[in-house]
């Protein structure tokens, strides 16, 4: 089972045992997942409403090494509507969770540290732009 939702929504609830992957790298990551998931007999793609999974199916089929590729009909919405179990957390991450920006309060642990890190970045932003040297700003006077 490969979940193609955002890493934030994957963290907050996915099919138990599903892998997280970003569609853009699916051709590469399927081979890596199959090495770690021995005994797989098929690949099932899941996305929020199954549309992204349907778009990714040809890529998955090409990378599947002969395994059949299926799509979870109705996606995670149908799974949740059927009140089937979900697993929470970042487990089985074929790709790092860099697909979306995590706000400091999106973290489940060390929220204060994440907020401090964000504030440090924000305070250092103007000096960082100056150090970079390729962005210029003009001050308009009235």
Q: How far apart are CA 35 and CA 132, in angstroms?
A: 42
* CA dihedral of 39, 41, 43, 44, whole degrees rounded to 10: -110
Most confident of 7-11, 30-34, 77-81, 94-98: 77-81
| Whether the model pTM is above 0.75 | no
Please tell me whether residue 33 adopts helix, strand or coil conformation. helix
Cβ neighbours of residue 106 under 8 Å, at least 6 residues apart? 8
Tell me the average pLDDT across 48-76: 93
pLDDT beyond 70 at 69? yes
| pLDDT tens readout for residues 39-59 | 889 999 999 999 999 999 999
Domains, the chain, in order of start with CATH, read 2-96 (3.40.250.10), 101-134 (no CATH)
Distance CA 120, CA 54 (A): 42
pLDDT digits (tens, 9 = 90+) for 122-133: 888 888 887 877
Confidence (pLDDT) at 70: 95
Strands of the chain (E only): list them.
2-3, 19-20, 43-46, 69-71
Residue 75 has pLDDT above 90, yes or no: yes
Angle between helices 111-123 and 125-132 (to 10 degrees): 50
What average pLDDT does the chain have? Answer: 86
């Amino acid at each position: 089972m490969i979940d193609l939702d955002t890493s934030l929504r994957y963290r907050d609830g996915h099919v138990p045992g599903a892998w997280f992957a970003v569609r853009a790298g699916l051709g590469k990551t399927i081979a890596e997942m199959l090495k770690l998931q021995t005994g797989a007999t098929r690949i099932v793609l899941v996305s929020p409403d199954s549309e992204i999974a349907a778009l990714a199916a040809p890529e998955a089929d090409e990378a599947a090494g002969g395994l059949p590729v299926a799509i979870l009909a109705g996606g995670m919405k149908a799974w949740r509507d059927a009140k089937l179990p979900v697993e929470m957390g970042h487990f089985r991450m074929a790709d790092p969770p860099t697909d979306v920006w995590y706000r400091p309060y999106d973290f489940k642990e060390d929220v204060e540290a994440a907020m401090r890190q964000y504030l440090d970045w924000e305070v250092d932003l103007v000096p960082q732009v100056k150090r970079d040297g390729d962005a210029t700003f003009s001050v308009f006077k009235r």
